Structure 1
């Protein structure tokens, strides 16, 4: 039944994409983030929904008469260069034959990220994009939260199989990132039931994140909460929320969860943590040998760990977006990735600064703030996970760029209209001078 439902939704939606290409972008985000076909057990699990949606969306983009240019901002230029650098590092990869599968997967994600940025342009489309992400990940948050509550937090919450967020740590970080977006939906909605539904979804998603037993998720929650508290004008409310919701949720978790979280303080004795450190040193030492392009995709091999890792027998993935970028794409690749994050953050700060006192752009102010909160969570939790190519941060980057372009354009138009009105008013005043002011003085021979 689930297979049939997903198939009906996808093929029922496709005809609308030719009329409104942005709907194809939204459908791509839904299928790539939620991966609803993985929730079935039949033909849909291997059916190429993503390829079909991408093909239809790109075709509609090419034939549409609607504006379809890529907004060329510092963020998008850096994104373009970063993607090109990934291709260059692939050309000079240590294992060029083995990199193709991962390169092919990553380039599809990057291509569709550009398509999303090109098609999502208006306030309505931006908000629909956020709604799509919230629904896609909120499904797992609600499901995982109920699972944690009913099971007493004993069993781990896991993500959908064969996806970026399959593991317990990965799904936890994805849910942590989604909570601020849920709060944004709550703020912009006028319907009471939506506000209450988002409150329930946020609480259940928090329980699901705790039920993942992810220590990185706990650090991400702390970092997000601290940032939100510093920026908020309602610090008392946030403190009250921690006392009434967060602390009881933590107290609800079993003793084994407490022991897992307490191991943060004894990381020297934790084999998993030491394995991460070993992988980080391997990536760093490899980048020292190949500082420009790194080793390319898929550098996890016994040979490279033997050559560059302190413990050659402890072979791990990078488990860090930063060391993943460093090992696979060199210091230049890491620098571009960090620059991309910094420029996206600055874009959000520009939106916040220029809309803070404008009620009609309160949606943009709240969106930029909540995306920044989400990025704090990703930057913190991502330090311990190999999620460099996770698509949600790139979609949020696109939402931030689209919001700034839209706000900046409208503010400029208002400024020009105000100047034109002022100039027109001055001209009318000059044309309405009294006769004594505009006529020659009696006796004047001129």
Structure 2
């Protein structure tokens, strides 16, 4: 029955695309995020719904869609270069079979990130893509949030829609994405036009944000706690009443702590002392091994190069015996451990060239979103504050989401995560849209001008 419902829904959306080909782009976003083919148990697992939507999205744009306003940006070119470099390292990978398996989904994530901005030519299309991304990941988040609230969470124990610990269904990855998506939820609740910001939309947004905050608790992911802290600082930067915001946030934290599970608090305590936690200690050793590895192979070893690592290290545990505390040491030998960091993942697999391209891609994203914030933030049109425009709001939300991702990526191997590359595609689309529709200085500068042109009423 689940298979029939999912296939029926996908078929309906694909049929709607016959009249509006852009709907096929939205269909692929939904399928790539939710992975409905993994939710079902029968026939849907044998239907290549992802590939069908992928081909439909590209074919619909190429053959049926209007190309007016479609432009290739510098960051899209960087995605193309990264794609080509990943292809090269895959051909020379240390583990050809495993590398080919990872390449099978990485290339689609990169190609779609390069392609997505070409389809997002208007405000409505940009908003529709944001909305579908938020609602798609909300399908997973709401399910996990409800189960966490009912007390069924725990490290490695939170059961989501599928019995699959990969992609967005892995605890640390979902925790990072759940916190990163909160700024986009806030933007939709303020500037949405598909669902206008009435009380019901704002109520749903508040409930979804609460569910997002529950995910790090339900998964007991330390990365999620760090991301929540980063989100709090970022929201403080854009808040108008910062003292009030800081007071309310501090009060909410004090109220929430007594209700948190003791198992969650115990796991969070290991953040401060990685030597006492084998998982954290292993990550440090893998990072050291990666630096030694690229010293010998600066071009990287291709996907899954970590499989050749092997190291021995010592962990320390404090054991309380009566009134005394005894430090016990244990020697651990491990091998074939994953990077658990996007930065070291890129470095080990794609070498220094790949890491440079990846860092440049994200660094330019932060810079471009800041340019848009300054362009609109300094404007006063018809008595309105430029910081209330949808462009300023979306640039801020995308920048905040990217910062949260980059911090979370320090501890999670999500360098090629498709959902994050969709955010990159949205940034490219917004940058291209603003360049096409707004006045901009000929030289890069972070100086607000009092002679900026008024914002035209474009959609």
| Length-normalised TM-score, structure 2 | 0.84
Work out whether residues 24 and 53 of structure 2, in 8 Å CA contact, stay in contact via their aligned partners in 1. Answer: yes
Aligned to 1:424: none
After superposition, what is the alpha-carbon deviation per residue over 1:102-130, rounded to whole angstroms, capped at 9, x for unaligned?
Answer: 11221122222223222122101111111
3-state SS, counterpart of residue 151 of structure 1: coil
After superposition, what is the alpha-carbon deviation per residue over 1:320-356, rounded to whole angstroms, capped at 9, x for unaligned?
Answer: 1100000000011111100000001111111111112
Aligned to 2:190: 187
Aligned to 1:229: 236
Work out whether residues 103 and 303 of structure 2, in 8 Å CA contact, stay in contact via their aligned partners in 1. Answer: yes
Q: Which runs of 5 or more structure 2 residues have no equivalent in the other structure?
A: 314-331, 443-450, 452-459
Instruction: Give distance in 1, aligned partners of 2:253 and 2:140.
Output: 19
Instruction: Give distance in 1, aligned partners of 2:110 and 2:18.
Output: 22
Q: CA RMSD in A?
A: 2.5
Aligned to 2:4: 4
Q: Indicate whether 1:278 and 2:281 are aligned.
A: no
After superposition, what is the alpha-carbon deviation per residue over 1:268-327, rounded to whole angstroms, capped at 9, x for unaligned?
Answer: 111000111122122222211111x200012132xx214x88786343111111000000
Instruction: Give distance in 1, aligned partners of 2:98 and 2:280.
Output: 28
With over 3 angstroms needed to count, the CA separation of the structure-2 counterparts of 1:175 and 1:250, relative to structure 1, is farther
Instruction: Give distance in 2, aligned partners of 1:256 and 1:176.
Output: 21
Q: Indicate whether 1:403 and 2:430 are aligned.
A: yes
Q: What's the CA shift for 1:72?
A: 2.5
Relative to its length, the structure with more strand (as a share) is 2
Q: Indicate whether 1:164 and 2:167 are aligned.
A: yes
| Length-normalised TM-score, structure 1 | 0.86
Relative to its length, the structure with more helix (as a share) is 1
Instruction: Give distance in 1, aligned partners of 2:182 and 2:159.
Output: 17
Aligned to 2:40: 40
Aligned to 1:313: 334
3-state SS, counterpart of residue 304 of structure 2: coil
Aligned to 2:129: 129
Name which of 281, 288, 292 aligns with 2:295: 288
With over 3 angstroms needed to count, the CA separation of the structure-2 counterparts of 1:340 and 1:375, relative to structure 1, is same
Aligned to 2:119: 119
Work out whether residues 30 and 133 of structure 1, in 8 Å CA contact, stay in contact via their aligned partners in 2. Answer: yes
Q: Which runs of 5 or more structure 1 residues have no equivalent in the other structure?
A: 420-446
3-state SS, counterpart of residue 101 of structure 2: helix
Matches within 5 A, 1:327-406: 327-356=348-377, 357=379, 362-406=389-433
Aligned to 1:300: 306
Q: What's the CA shift for 1:131?
A: 0.7
3-state SS, counterpart of residue 419 of structure 2: helix
Name which of 318, 323, 345 aligns with 1:324: 345
Aligned to 1:178: 181
Work out whether residues 182 and 212 of structure 2, in 8 Å CA contact, stay in contact via their aligned partners in 1. Answer: yes
Q: What's the CA shift for 1:37?
A: 3.3
Q: What's the CA shift for 1:46?
A: 4.2
Q: How many pairs are equivalent?
A: 412
With over 3 angstroms needed to count, the CA separation of the structure-2 counterparts of 1:247 and 1:122, relative to structure 1, is farther
